[in-house]
Structure 1
Amino acid sequence: MIVERSMHPQFLSNTYLVADREGGSAFFVDAGGPVEPLIEAAERLDVTPTHVLLTHHHHDHVAELDQLKARWPQLTVLIDDREGGRDEIGDAGSFPETVTVGDLEVRALHTPGHTAGMLALLVDGNVFTGDTLFKNSVGGVRAPGSTSYADLRSSIMDTLMALPKDTVVRPGHTDPTTIGEEWENNSFVRVWRGLDKEGEAQCTAFGDPATLVLLGDDYDGGHKAWVRWPDGRDDIVPGSQVQTG
């Protein structure tokens, strides 16, 4: 399997070209751009893209979908039926449990939390996790179409962490990692495993009182915060929205 990646300079979102072999068949994972390097890679590898497989609907993952469809009008675009916000996507098909592209079989794993229809895509020892799991971080549950902290935690701990430890994680933003690395080192996963203690510091989040359970890393060099509201609800919010002291 061949994987080529292009990362948007502002959004830091990844678009992937995945091929079964040189001269074979290929598909794209998301389309946030810039897609020009991937179009060039497809031509250099002499592969025929057949699908765009979308992890979710957010703008930074679909912004350049039209450019891919203009280059390859026959592309089939697939997204989960539970996903909203389809204005930028147009005519997309329903994602089945598996998609076969050339010699590759792509299995869709439903991983709600960041959005209702978020998918992780498992293929040949790799999992494309969209905005659910990043290197030493996790997705938030405050973006449009998000569901809940409980969903996000279950998607990571019950679905993704159940994959073999050598599975390569190719997230929706920035650098790759592995399931094993995140199992051992991801600060959110470590607390969920009971290896590290929850924090108890008082803070404000979006201006409201809360408990800061964990101030972890985020993919952009900032922070992602796990907070607990006075009514006991847990939330994952941008670290920039949390103040302590």
Structure 2
Amino acid sequence: MNLNPIQLFDTESSTFTYILTAPGSNQAVIIDPVDHQLERDLRHLERLGLQLALVLETHAHADHVTSAGRLRALTGAQAAVPSGCGIAPAELQLNDGDVLRFGYAEEIRVLHTPGHTAGSMSYLWRGNVFTGDTLLIDGCGRTDFQSGSSDALYDSVTGKLFALPDDTRVWPAHDYKGQAVSTIGWEKRHNARLANRSREDFRILMSELKLAKPKLIDIAVPANQNLGLPHGA
């Protein structure tokens, strides 16, 4: 059964935030919240009568600051983060194969999918996979900073994500082309960077991108490693 998440978009950073709900329960999970969208997200939770149980991060983002720390303080939720991303204040340090639970019987399976960053995680829930910057719609995240690796990303996508059922819905952390959701089957057949491409071809492609450094990286990464809170807070 596919149960759709609530998908919210930040136009400044092109970031998707997701709210997952639990049938028969008022508990909810939020994935990759953005600092200046805190009030928007709180209004969604209030409007729907939801109690936030978990705040999940797919990685320590370089292009925006998270609101995870403030959400945790305001709602009593626990922060759950990839163990390899250096986000020390979070209560739950996640490893590959972990299972997060909320509501009465909801389970989120943790998949370590490094490449964009060394610690990047994807989250599988009810036929939906939240892929962070590892797998985007018709693309993938860059691999040239934060311990990125084109080889690791290739393995994460082709070995782990593309091994999921074809009808698994793909919900990325970002989109820059007005798209919202895809499927594993579509990405396996059509993804411009990864479909039917050899490891060596992918390595060459990624090495030739020559992307500009994210404007906020020097601010965002240290902030996100403290759940978006000022250091010492």
TM-score by length of 1: 0.74
Q: Which amino acid aligns with 1:191?
A: N
- Contact (CA 8 Å) 2:55, 2:72: kept in 1 or not? no
Aligned to 2:183: 178
Mapped partners of 2:167, 2:186: distance in 1: 9
CA distance in 1, matches of 2:91, 2:207: 30
Would you say 1:48 and 2:47 are equivalent positions? no
Match of 1:158 in 2: 159
In structure 2, stretches of 5+ residues that fail to align are: 213-233
Change (3 A) 1:160 1:94: same
Q: Which whole-Å CA distance do the structure 2 matches of 1:192 and 1:62 have between them?
A: 33
State the partner residue of 1:110. Answer: 112
Instruction: Summarize deviations over 1:96-149 as a string: whole Å, max 9, x none.
Output: 500011131000001010111110000000000000001100111113232x11
2:170 matched residue in structure 1: 169
Consecutive unaligned residues in structure 1, runs of 5 or more:
199-212, 214-225, 229-233
Larger radius of gyration: 1
1:14-73 CA-to-partner distances (Å, cap 9, x unmatched) read: 11111113752111111225233322221122121100111101244652223312431x
Percent identity reads: 30
Q: For residues 85-164 of structure 1, what are the structure 2 equivalents within 5 Å?
A: 86=87, 90-95=89-94, 97-102=98-103, 103-146=105-148, 148-164=149-165
Q: Is the 8 A contact 2:18 2:30 kept in 1?
A: yes
In angstroms, what is the RMSD of aligned CA positions? 2.4
Q: Could you say if the C-alpha distance between residues 111 and 117 of structure 1 is closer, same or farther in structure 2, counting changes exceeding 3 Å?
A: same
Corresponding residue of 1:210: none
**Aligned pair in 2 of structure 1 residues 76, 240: CA closer, same or farther (>3 Å)?**
closer
- Richer in helix (by share): 2
Could you tell me how far apart the structure 2 residues matched to 1:101 and 1:193 are?
39
Q: Which is bigger in relative contact order (C-alpha 8 A, separation at least 6)?
A: 2
How many equivalent residue pairs? 202
1:182-231 deviation digits (Å, cap 9, x = unpaired): 1111122223269xxx9xxxxxxxxxxxxxx5xxxxxxxxxxxx563xxx
Q: Which amino acid aligns with 1:51?
A: L
2: CA distance, partners of 1:49 / 1:236: 40
Alpha-carbon distance in 2 for matches of 1:100, 1:75 = 13
Structure-2 residue corresponding to 1:14:
16
Q: d(CA) in 2 for partners of 1:188 and 1:59?
A: 21
Shift of 1:156: 0.4
Aligned-partner Cα distance in 2 for 1:237–1:99: 38
8 Å contact from structure 1 (residues 32, 59) kept in 2: no
- The aligned residue for residue 28 of structure 1 is 30
Task: Report the equivalent of 2:60.
Answer: 57
Asked whether the equivalents of residues 121 and 127 of structure 1 are also in contact (C-alpha less than 8 Å), the reply is: yes
Distance 1:171 1:13 in 2: 9
Contact persistence 1:8–1:32 (CA under 8 A): yes
Relative distance call for 1:40 and 1:51 in structure 2 (3 A) is same
Please state whether the residue corresponding to 1:190 is helix, strand or coil: coil
For residues 46 and 24 of structure 2, the distance between their equivalents in structure 1, rounded to whole angstroms, comes to 10
Distance 2:8 2:62 in 1: 16
TM-score normalized with structure 2 length: 0.77
- State the Cα distance separating 1:239 from its structure 2 match: 5.5
Q: Deviations over 1:145-187 (max 9, x none)?
A: 32x1110000000100000111010000022111111111112
